[in-house]
Structure 1
Amino acid sequence: MGLAPALLASGALTSDWLPTFEAVPRHLFVPDRIWPGKAGGAVQAEQVVSRADDPDAWWEAVNSDIPLTFQWDDGEHTGNAKGTTPSSSSSMPTMVVSMLADLDVDAGMRVLEVGTGTGWNAALLAHRLGDENVVTIEVDADVSAAAATRLERAGLNPRLVVGDGGAGLANLGQFDRLEATCSIARVPAPWLELVRPGGLVVSPLGTEYGGEAVVRLAVREDGTAVGRFTRSSAFMRMRQQRSTRPPLAAYLKGKSWPADGERSFTRLSPADTGDWIDQFAIGLQVRGCFWRAERYRDGSYTLWLYSTDTASWATADWEAERTTYEVVQSGPRRLWDEVETAWRWWNAAGRPDFERFGLTVTPDGHTPWLDDPANTLPQFGK
């Protein structure tokens, strides 16, 4: 069974998109050198899979429902081993078709895609809507040029632009739909100007703390937007919105742990806060905070929490067989207390999944909510 029929059989691909997926197969848009991943987004292959050297493995990866990384470290990495940070990929086909379903396009609609990548998603849109109705923007000139070559070979010609996808596009008018194929931490203000009232913005959105989901926002007449998250996701972050994570020394300020931290104990296991949905629910509430884990040979670890302004930090120690866990907190924010309060709010609400959360976007910022825009989430930090 080919990839398109398999996606149809699984229910991910709808019948109206089937002719397009059969006409625009994925293999036409996959580079010859790839690092296959897995459904959660992580890269599995330690070494490159080359079409020239191992065509069977290449074809197997291309026809699998997995993401395929083809660029590391913004193009700086060379060689056959994995680089440090994956920076461009062919997305997991199930996610591609699901986001296109979220986009809900009709004949004659104009679509702006942010993140050209291999060009496959732009090709699918161009085949469905016509070349003249699709504009795709890519920050990496080399990635864009390679995608242009693939699109031409496939007989498709959407408009390709090299530039910052978060900065807006002049002289192109408004679009009916905007789809991002990279993750964002915040909705860029120009997007709400580029999409007509009544139009949709579909994008993966991840919190500073962790966790990510696709948000589907309807743009209103007043220039605001509101909508629900539709599913979990794990995309590469838009380059212009990547976070800079300060080192530990920026927090301890020359002192040794526990420095001036205050000790306490908690019954909430740090391990219970680490799933993707846990991180997402916490991150929607606890702003300006991220975490790292310091792991030890015996399997125990310390969960470190940091404020992005370097003013506050906290640690929570996990050890097997413990029912209480030592916490140390320092700074004007009590970060573990914030994380625990956010987790307990989510737990008391019945541990809602991604699809029950929503977002309202205004010029003043983002307001997350549960089930209804009036039911806003508690907020900590900035």
Structure 2
Amino acid sequence: MTANSSNARPSRTELGRSLISGGALSPDWVPAFTAVPRAAFLPGLMWPFDMGTARSIAVSRADDPAAWQTYAESDAPVVTQWDDGRHTGTEPGEVPTSSASMPGVVFRMLRDLDVRPGHRALEIGTGTGWNAALLAHRLGAENVVTVEVDGAVAESARTALERFGLPVRVVHGDGFRGHPEGAPYDRIIATCGLRSIPFAWVRQCRPGAVIVAPWGTHYSNADAVARLAVADDGGSASGMFTGPVEFMKLRAQRLPPVVHGEYVTGSVAEGDESSTTVTEAEFAGERFAPQRFALGLRVRDCCHVVAEKRDGARPVWFYGLTDRSWACVQFRDGNTARVWQSGPRRLWDEAEAAHHWWVGRGEPDHTRFGLTVTPEGRRAWLDDPADSWPV
């Protein structure tokens, strides 16, 4: 197969129509979508996320080519590696560590990137190589560099790109440092979740360049796509978020598992008890609810964990990341929620105050928030970058 192949199957045509009607696939990206099928970059054994069962399932091209093709041409994420490559067998592993993102997410982020002829682009997180191939179709393979931290994943993507006729330069390395040897860049895009956007990327950009990256806090996995413009003097990059996403994290920025027993050494009743009138629905919302993202911006150095609901009760835990402060709020259907807190920080009080702050400002969604990156760190803001706070 070459980069000029355009024999789209009916299901892929239907996917394209769906992406266009949903606003993900803009007209300037339609030729790349047609010419560069995701299927050309997926492995023979993959684990698509089945929307009906809400779980990853193993699909083999050798055993069921029709099912494999259907999933390859669907708007669903596909896991291509588990457990940093240590996983064996066909059943899903413990932690997904490389994937092909939903086409709808891919093309929304490419739309945000706003590439133009002559641009030079750096991608952080090669994965299967499909995203790099789409960029190369627009800009030329010589104008795209992609960095992948996993050696086996990098080699597989390099092979797929060369086989397809788009020999993008694939660098095996830590994307957090960017790729200064290929700078300056007009566009940088990350396909992994970030907790810190390195200023090294800003330094490697031309003035006016655009950086598109999924970003969030350790509070939760509720990320949003940041679209940052590099200042004319190169001293900062700033911009708004364009919408919610959830990505696998940059490996250097993964949060180590929180060990509950290191925080709560006895009974939860040993914490200071109180109550709250905030309800579970108000506080948590749906999976991509904006309050989860907003609270992460306001409650620093905190991880929260939502436990399973049993017998009408759902505990939500909060763990401090700089000390052993903890809090637990137990929401119960039809009753006032009980709260326990312990440690130097009153984490539930902070979370409740952040929730009231969000409500008091009109319950803003992701697109009203912004981010500024400077050599000194990161600052978030709501509507106006002049009114910002460190994150």
Same fold (TM over 0.5): yes
Q: CA deviation at 1:361?
A: 1.2
User: In structure 2, which of residues 84, 91, 94 is the aligned counterpart of residue 84 of structure 1?
Assistant: 94
The residue type equivalent to 1:32 in the other structure is: G
Name the structure 2 match of 1:256.
267
Give percent identity, aligned residues only. Answer: 48
Contact 2:304 2:316 (8 Å CA) reproduced: yes
Q: Deviations 1:308-337 (Å, cap 9, x if unpaired)?
A: 124210111111111x21111111111001
The residue type equivalent to 2:268 in the other structure is: W
Distance in 1 (alpha carbons) for counterparts of 2:213 and 2:35: 25
Of residues 263-272 and 136-145 in structure 1, the stretch that sits farther from structure 2 once superposed is 263-272
Cα-Cα RMSD: 1.8
Distance in 2 (alpha carbons) for counterparts of 1:161 and 1:344: 46
Residues 370 and 72 of structure 1: CA distance in aligned 2, closer, same or farther (over 3 Å): same
User: In structure 1, which of residues 132, 141, 150 is the aligned counterpart of residue 151 of structure 2?
Assistant: 141
Name the structure 2 match of 1:23.
35
Residues 9 and 246 of structure 1: CA distance in aligned 2, closer, same or farther (over 3 Å): closer
The equivalences for 1:189-204 within 5 A come to 189-204=199-214
Residues 46 and 155 of structure 1: CA distance in aligned 2, closer, same or farther (over 3 Å): closer
Contact 1:251 1:310 (8 Å CA) reproduced: no
Distance in 2 (alpha carbons) for counterparts of 1:119 and 1:44: 26
The residue type equivalent to 1:54 in the other structure is: D
The residue type equivalent to 1:373 in the other structure is: P
The equivalences for 1:319-338 within 5 A come to 319-322=332-335, 324-338=336-350
Name the structure 2 match of 1:96.
106
TM-score by length of 2: 0.91
Q: CA deviation at 1:274?
A: 2.0
Name the structure 2 match of 1:160.
170
Is 1:150 paired with 2:163? no
Q: CA deviation at 1:156?
A: 0.6
Name the structure 1 match of 2:228.
217
Q: CA deviation at 1:75?
A: 0.8
Distance in 2 (alpha carbons) for counterparts of 1:245 and 1:298: 27
The residue type equivalent to 2:136 in the other structure is: A
The residue type equivalent to 2:348 in the other structure is: W
Distance in 2 (alpha carbons) for counterparts of 1:363 and 1:15: 37
Distance in 2 (alpha carbons) for counterparts of 1:9 and 1:298: 42
Of residues 1-10 and 159-168 in structure 1, the stretch that sits farther from structure 2 once superposed is 1-10
Is 1:368 paired with 2:380? yes
User: In structure 1, which of residues 304, 309, 325 is the aligned counterpart of residue 322 of structure 2?
Assistant: 309
Residues 313 and 278 of structure 1: CA distance in aligned 2, closer, same or farther (over 3 Å): same
The residue type equivalent to 1:280 in the other structure is: F
Name the structure 1 match of 2:3.
none
Residue ranges of structure 2 left out of the alignment (5+ in a row) = 1-9
Distance in 1 (alpha carbons) for counterparts of 2:239 and 2:162: 36
SS at match of 1:340: helix
SS at match of 1:143: helix
Q: Deviations 1:120-155 (Å, cap 9, x if unpaired)?
A: 000011111011100000001111111111111211
Q: CA deviation at 1:272?
A: 2.6
The residue type equivalent to 1:233 in the other structure is: V
Contact 2:325 2:345 (8 Å CA) reproduced: yes
Name the structure 1 match of 2:248.
236
The residue type equivalent to 2:224 in the other structure is: A
Is 1:283 paired with 2:296? yes
SS at match of 1:306: strand
Contact 2:32 2:138 (8 Å CA) reproduced: yes
The residue type equivalent to 2:125 in the other structure is: G
Distance in 2 (alpha carbons) for counterparts of 1:290 and 1:354: 19
Distance in 2 (alpha carbons) for counterparts of 1:70 and 1:45: 14
Distance in 2 (alpha carbons) for counterparts of 1:216 and 1:38: 30
Residue ranges of structure 1 left out of the alignment (5+ in a row) = none
The residue type equivalent to 1:166 in the other structure is: F
Is 1:120 paired with 2:95? no
Q: CA deviation at 1:86?
A: 0.7
Distance in 2 (alpha carbons) for counterparts of 1:294 and 1:16: 44
Distance in 2 (alpha carbons) for counterparts of 1:236 and 1:245: 15
Distance in 1 (alpha carbons) for counterparts of 2:53 and 2:206: 37
Name the structure 2 match of 1:273.
283
Contact 2:147 2:178 (8 Å CA) reproduced: no
The residue type equivalent to 1:314 in the other structure is: A
Q: CA deviation at 1:83?
A: 1.1
Name the structure 2 match of 1:186.
196
Contact 1:176 1:195 (8 Å CA) reproduced: yes
TM-score by length of 1: 0.93
Distance in 2 (alpha carbons) for counterparts of 1:157 and 1:85: 30
Q: CA deviation at 1:38?
A: 5.8
Residues 135 and 332 of structure 1: CA distance in aligned 2, closer, same or farther (over 3 Å): same
Question: When the two structures are aligned, how many residues end up with a matched partner?
Answer: 374
